[in-house]
Amino acid sequence: MTTEVKAAPRRPAARVRRLIRGAQLELRMLAMLGILSLGLSLISPYFFTLSNILNLMDQSVITGIVSIGQTFVILIAGIDLSVGSLTGATGIVLGLSLQTLPLPLAIAVAIIAGGLAGFVNGYIITKGRVAAFIVTLGMMSVGRSMAYVLSGANSISQLPDELGDLASATVFGIPLNFVVLVVLYAIAWYYLTFTKGGRTIYAIGSNAEAARTAGLRVEFYSILVYVISGALSAVAAVFLAARILSIDPIAATGLELDTIAAVVIGGASLFGGRGTIIGTFIGVVIMVLIRNGLNLLNVNPYWQGTAIGSIIVAAVLLERFLSAREGLARAGSEEG
Amino acid sequence: MTEAAGDTSVLALEARDVWKAFERTQALSGVAFALRRGEIHALVGANGAGKSTFSRIVSGHLAADRGDVRLFGEGVRFASARDAIRAGVTMVMQETSLAPDLSVLENIYLPEFGAPGRLSWKALAARAEALLDQFGQKGHLPLRRALRDLSASQRQMVEILKALALDAKVIIFDEPTASFSPNEVDRLFDVMRLLTQRGKSLVFVSHRLEEIFEITDRITVFREGAAVADGVPTSGMRPTELVRLMVGREIADIYARGVAGRGTASAAAAVLDVEHLAAGPRVKDVSFNVAAGEILGLAGLVGAGRSECVEAIFGLRRVERGKIRLAGAPFRPRAPIDAIRAGVAFVPEDRRRQGLVQDFTVRENLLLAHLGRRRGIGLGYDERRAEMEALLDELSLSPRILDDGILTLSGGMQQKVVLARWILMSPKLLILDEPTRGVDIGTRSTIYAMIRRLAQRGTGVLLVSSDFEEVIGVSDRIVVMSDGTDVTSIPSRLVDVEKLAMFAAPRSSAEATHFVLEELAARFGGVAYWISLEGQRLYCFDAVAAPDAPEIGFARGTFPEIAQSLIPCALERRSETFLAEPAGASVLVPLRGHRGHDLGHVGLTLPPAKALPDPSLVRRIALAGSAATTAQAVAGGR
């Protein structure tokens, strides 16, 4: 009020206000997250123990890594249903490679395999103009089938111990795999916010035609997001295999649904152009918390699916309700 | 319903003290509006004045915060558009609310799908035929075709028929003519007049002043959510006054004519040189060039292939045949980025579909082409800061809007942003496709001034527009396209709206005239032509010569002075009997449209030695085919 008179302090204040307005969605998600953890800690004394928190971190790694790729894909108004089976298939590729190759090389082979599968997805979707839903549904089936074929339908175990270090090592007491997750999110955030490629991805999702007319490389980035998604599925497979030093062809079944749920809970629009990587991170943590909470509460596993499904839809409904006023203001200003 | 249709003392629709706010903006503050029965009432105002908001409240699409709306004296408060339709109020939407995969017939009767009971397709089809017949649209709209196969103007016509099918008492037309060519506008106006004769009351929302003055009875002007002129008779209003009311200040000449540097273009080097370009079914054979610093208008009707032609030049469409040269070098872009790197900029026709990234801020929309052209990983937004701010200043936009969402701006401001995006690229060639569609008059003059300034700095400008007045007002030279070919290239100071319309008439609808010319040339063995004479100049729209025809000094698409033609006396005297000159003997037959418009002359020149036929025979042939179809094709020539 009185600060309005003074000119000097207005700018930073305005900047903060703008920042808050821009991050409103994330702040709301964060609040939801806070309420959720508070509730859980009240219900279960075990919730806020160190071992449970380490457990939560561990559980968010796989979904978290794959959700980054899923965010990229959803931002261009696509969808990647193949991430679960690609995680399974590239896990098998990793296991087989480790029988002859040293660890870093084997990891590289797995990531390249994942990237290649993603490229096939992106290429057919973009050049062949086939719906992403159909193409990745096909890849989902192919990927799982390849996992069985390559492994002979058996799990590959007794993987080298050095692989296990990826799961057990810590950095300043924090599990290495969680650190990797955070670093990947930081890179993704930087890429989406401050680079030409990142802004192009947003522009494609918002209006591909306008992006193309402005000279942006729409086709290249439309394929790239699927390559990233496929490659990250392989990265997730590495940490999945590291956890129990074994990989199974049915691993990561249903992961695509968890990642899509996390991205949507994180506020992204399935119509593209809207959503943030920070939102996705919060979405992942919420997903993990819900699962964790249901376990802590000893909810019958058969009922957990119903509970999770309902909570996802309710969370998104709540978000739509909260942002409805924002949306109305937006629609209103479009008037002639 | 027995009262005379012309009884305009009854108020069909009356609104008093209507208020409406959207979150941050007050769209309407106490607006009043009174529509008499059987009149056409213009509702005008700059973008953001509240016309659309008001129309949508009256037609039930939006609810007012408060206010009093009466329909034939009874207070109404519509909960939905269906409510309004039931009460007899419909709105013809500007952005079509049609289902592309359904047929024309289904679209027209879509509102009835919500009614209980069975639909009889047979009955619907019969009713649709009757409806088309009633409004003189028979044969113009294929009822069974899927909507997506129709042209933009045909789709708009379906939208209008949809409203007519509801038999509403009050119809609101929200910029119905945005996609119409002159003859289609004429056809719509015929329909509107027919409606008022039947006692319907019409509200006509439009940006086009000439249309408002042609069709409406009274005018209400909105400015910033309030009525600044309330039902003033159109006959008592002058265009300049209307503009002043709309924008709140005087705009002497929106085209900023008379700026130095006009018409000197031919001396400068060509920026763009197009030879025999063919691209897709709409662009068959187009040749023209644009000089540095020249503003070239590409005129023609919707469907003439102008947009497709410039899209090919910008790399949005595949070039099938022909050559393009840019600043002298061969040029064949495969994607927009090739064109952008070569120095071509393109403001597309459809701002929402091709221009704006809706989820981005004003800043990112402004810098979108910069981002596209940039090599490297980062954004490089900061490098452009100074330039950007100077440019915003030039376009009278505040730098404070940079971080706002692009959709918070009005249509006119959005268009300025799209234009500014390309100016930042300092292009060699700027292509503008319908740059002022749906843009208010105040913003238009800013855009024109900006285009001029760019041209003065040496940019070649290629302006595509269906608004003939705009093309003439803005361009130095005009190339007219018709049916995918260039018909003529003419300095804009030598041409007016009527003549452009005749040059632009598609061959398909000027067919009858062409047929007459062929008939005359073949039967009498000379040269037959369709021309317009004005002052010292003749304009030749079409000409057909028999094998041994004499030389007359002009051909299709040319516009020499009469004295330079080889038959000056016959032309000078508009001779209706054969007049012999050294080149041959000529006779002229004047043509008139069905509303008495001057449509020029059909002429016939025979070789000197030839025996002359009876001029009345020539006259009969000339008038037989041309009167009906040609008149319709170029009717109005507004």
Task: Report how far apart, in Å, the C-alpha atoms of B107 and of each of B102, B252, B554, B565 are.
Answer: 6, 44, 49, 54
pLDDT tens digits along B487-518:
899 998 888 877 887 888 765 556 667 888 88
pLDDT surpassing 80 at residue A322: no
Of the listed ranges B257-271, B550-564, B574-588, the one predicted with least confidence? B257-271
Residue A102 vs residues A109, A160, A243: alpha-carbon distances, Å: 11, 10, 18
Q: What is the pLDDT of residue B116?
A: 72
Give φ, ψ of B174 to 5 degrees. Answer: -95, 100
Give me Rg for the CA atoms of chain B. 26
pLDDT grade for A21, boundaries at 50, 70 and 90: low
Number of CB pairs < 8 Å for A and B? Answer: 115
Give A199→chain B minimum CA distance, Å.
8
Nearest CB partner across the interface for A216, out of B354, B371, B407: B371
Is the predicted pLDDT of residue B114 greater than 80, yes or no?
no
Is residue B291 a contact partner of residue B268, using CB atoms and an 8 Å limit?
A: yes
Which one of A11, A213, A220, A222 would you mutate to disrupt binding with B, by most B Cβ within 10 Å of its Cβ? Answer: A213
Per-residue model confidence (pLDDT) at position B52:
83
pLDDT in tens, A85-132: 999 999 999 999 999 999 999 999 999 999 999 999 999 999 999 999
Which of A37-41, B48-52, B127-131, B540-544 bottoms out in mean pLDDT, i.e. has the lowest?
B48-52
pLDDT above 60 (res A188): yes
3-state DSSP call for residue A92? helix
| Cα–Cα dist B528/B548, whole Å | 12
From chain A, the residues in CB contact with B378 under 8 A are 194-196
Q: How confident is the model at residue B24 (pLDDT cuts 50, 70, 90)?
A: low
Q: Are B358 and A207 inside 8 Å of each other by CB? A: yes
In chain B, CATH 3.40.50.300 sits at 11-247, 265-495
Contact A207 B348 (CB under 8 A): no
Mean pLDDT over the full length of chain B: 84
Question: pLDDT of B592-608, one tens digit each?
Answer: 755 556 778 899 999 88
Flag if A213 and B356 touch (Cβ within 8 Å): no
Q: What is the pLDDT of residue A11?
A: 56
The percent of residues above 70 in pLDDT, for chain B, comes to 88
List the CATH code of the domain at B11-247: 3.40.50.300
Position B182 scores a pLDDT of 63
User: Where do you find CATH 3.30.450.40 in chain B?
Assistant: 503-634
Handedness of CA A270, A276, A280, A285 (dihedral sign): negative
DSSP state of A54: H
CB contact under 8 A, B369 and A197: no
Q: B195 or B148: which carries more pLDDT confidence?
A: B195
Characterize the bridge pairing of strands B321-326 and B485-491: unpaired
Residue A330, pLDDT above cutoff 60 = no
For residue B439, what are the CA distances in angstroms to A287, B393, B446? 48, 19, 11
Tell whether the torsion through CA atoms of A243, A244, A247 and A252 is positive or negative: negative
Q: Which of A18, A273, A333 sits opposite B407 (nearest CB)?
A: A333
Residue A150, by phi and psi: left (phi above 0), alpha (psi -120 to 50) or beta? alpha
In chain A, the percentage of residues whose pLDDT exceeds 70 is 89
Q: Chain A contact for B407, CB < 8 A? A: yes
Nearest CA in chain B to A274: B359
Do residue B379 and residue A194 have CB atoms under 8 angstroms apart? yes
Q: How far is A215 from chain B (nearest CA, A)?
A: 4
Q: Which residues of B touch A17 (CB under 8 A)?
A: none
Confidence class for position B161, pLDDT limits 50, 70, 90 = confident
Tokens of B493: 């100071």
Q: Give A218-263 pLDDT, tens digit per residue.
A: 999 999 999 999 999 999 999 999 998 999 999 999 999 999 999 9
Contact A213 B335 (CB under 8 A): no
The reported pLDDT for the residue numbered A185 is 97
> For B22, which of A203, A213, A332 is closest by C-beta distance?
A332
Chain A residues in contact with B410 (beta carbon < 8 A): 336
Least confident of B217-226, B335-344, B587-596: B587-596
pLDDT at B462 > cutoff 90: yes
SS3 A52: helix
CA distance A66 to chain B (A): 24
Three-state secondary structure call for residue B296? strand
Q: Mark out the alpha helices in chain A (DSSP H runs).
A: 10-22, 24-43, 50-75, 83-98, 103-127, 132-151, 161-168, 176-194, 196-213, 218-244, 255-265, 277-296, 301-333
Q: Is the dihedral of CA B456, B458, B459, B465 positive or negative?
A: positive
Position B631 scores a pLDDT of 42
C-beta atoms of B22 and A331 within 8 A: yes
Q: Which two tokens stand for residue B275?
A: 């030879």
Give pLDDT, residue B265.
45
- Reported as a pLDDT band with limits 50, 70 and 90, residue B109 is confident
pLDDT at B632: 44
Residue A9 has pLDDT above 70, yes or no: no
B53 touches chain A (CB under 8 A): yes
- For residue A105, what pLDDT is reported? 97
Q: Report the chain A residue with the minimal C-alpha distance to residue B317.
A: A213
Nearest Cα residue in chain A from B57: A335
Does B633 score more than 70 pLDDT? no
B chain contacts of residue A334, beta-carbon cutoff 8 Å: 407
Least Cα distance to B136 among B204, B200, B195 occurs for B195
Of the residues B23, B54, B381, the best mutation for testing chain A's interface (the one with the most A CB atoms within 10 Å of its CB) is B23
Sequence ranges of the domains in chain A: 60-317
- With beta carbons less than 8 A apart as the criterion, state whether A276 and A266 touch: yes
In degrees to the nearest 10, what's the CA dihedral of B506, B509, B515, B516?
-110
Q: Which of A144, A138, A152, A156 is nearest to A85 (CA)?
A: A144
Taking alpha carbons only, the member of B526, B581, B522 closest to residue B549 is B526
Query: Which of A149-153, A302-306, B156-160, B230-234: highest mean pLDDT?
Result: A149-153
Q: Do B358 and A205 touch (CB under 8 A)?
A: no
What CATH homologous superfamily does B265-495 map to? P-loop containing nucleotide triphosphate hydrolases (3.40.50.300)
B365 vs A17 pLDDT, higher one: B365
Instruction: For residue A217, list chain B residues with Cβ-Cβ distance below 8 A.
Output: 337, 372
Residue B189: how many other CB atoms lie within 10 Å: 18
* B337 and chain A in contact, CB less than 8 A: yes
B339 contact partners, CB below 8 Å, separation of at least 6? B313, B314, B315, B333, B346
Testing the interface with B: which of A195, A207, A219 to mutate, by most B Cβ within 10 A?
A207
**Pick from B348, B354, B369: which is nearest to A215 by CB?**
B369
Whether the predicted pLDDT of A272 surpasses 60: yes
Check: complex ipTM more than 0.90: no
Residue B219 scores a pLDDT above 90? yes
From the CA of B379, how many Å to the nearest CA of chain A? 5
Shortest distance between the Cα of B181 and any Cα of chain A, in A, equals 23
**Is B263 an interface residue toward A (CB < 8 Å)?**
no
B495 touches B506 (CB < 8 A): no
Radius of gyration of chain A (CA): 21
* pLDDT for position B622: 82
Confirm or reject contact between B371 and chain A (CB < 8 A). yes
Question: Considering only B160-169, B246-255, B576-585, which range has the smallest mean pLDDT?
Answer: B246-255
**Residue A333: which of B25, B56, B378 has the nearest Cβ?**
B25
pLDDT exceeds 70 at position A326: no
- Picking from A203, A217, A329, the nearest residue to B368 by CB comes out as A203
* Predicted pLDDT at B396: 80
Residues of chain B in contact with residue A196, where contact means CB-CB under 8 angstroms, are 371, 374, 376-379
B346, B359, B381, B403: best to mutate for the A interface, most A CBs within 10 A:
B359
Return the bridge partners of B31, or none: B18
In sequence order, the 6+-apart residues with CB closer than 8 A to the CB of A202 are A75, A192, A273, B357, B359, B360
Predicted pLDDT of residue A329 = 43
In Å, how far is A206's CA from the nearest CA of chain B?
A: 6
Whether the Cβ atoms of residue A90 and residue A236 lie closer than 8 Å to each other: no
Q: Which residues pair with A166 in a beta bridge?
A: none
What distance in Å separates residue B47's CA from the closest CA in chain A? 5
- The CATH homologous superfamily to which domain B503-634 belongs is GAF domain (3.30.450.40)
Q: Is A197 exposed, middle or buried (0-12, 13-18, 19+ CB in 10 A)?
A: middle
Say what the pLDDT of residue B95 is. 56
Round to whole Å and give the CA distance between A107 and A91. 9
Amino acid at A132: A
In chain B, which among 18-37 make CB contacts under 8 A with chain A? 22-25, 27
Interface of B with A in 302-331 (CB under 8 A): 314, 316
What sign for the dihedral angle of Cα B302, B303, B304, B305?
positive
Question: Sign of torsion, CA B629 B633 B637 B638?
Answer: positive
Among chain A, residues having any CB pair with chain B shorter than 8 Å are: 18, 194-197, 199-200, 202-203, 205-207, 209-217, 273-274, 325, 328-336
Longest dimension (CA), chain B: 83
Question: What is the rounded CA–CA span in Å between residue B529 and residue B200?
Answer: 44
Sorting pLDDT into bands at 50, 70 and 90, what band is B539? very high
Q: What does the mean pLDDT of chain A come to? A: 88
| Tokens representing residue B222 in the block | 């909105």
Residue contact A325–B47, C-beta within 8 A? no
Is residue A10 pLDDT above 80, yes or no?
no
Determine the topology of domain A60-317 in CATH. Answer: ABC transporter involved in vitamin B12 uptake, BtuC (1.10.3470)
Residue B509 has what pLDDT?
53
Q: Identify which of B447, B501, B507, B440 has the alpha carbon closest to the alpha carbon of residue B469.
A: B501
The minimum CA-CA distance between B456 and chain A, rounded to whole Å, is 24
Q: How far is A185 from chain B (nearest CA, A)?
A: 18
CB B438 within 8 A of CB A334: no
| Residue A34 CA: distances (Å) to CA of A23, A38, A45 | 16, 6, 16
Between CA B321 and CA A145 the distance in angstroms is 49
Asked if residue B289 has pLDDT above 90, the reply is yes
- Report the C-alpha gap between B372 and A213 in whole angstroms: 9
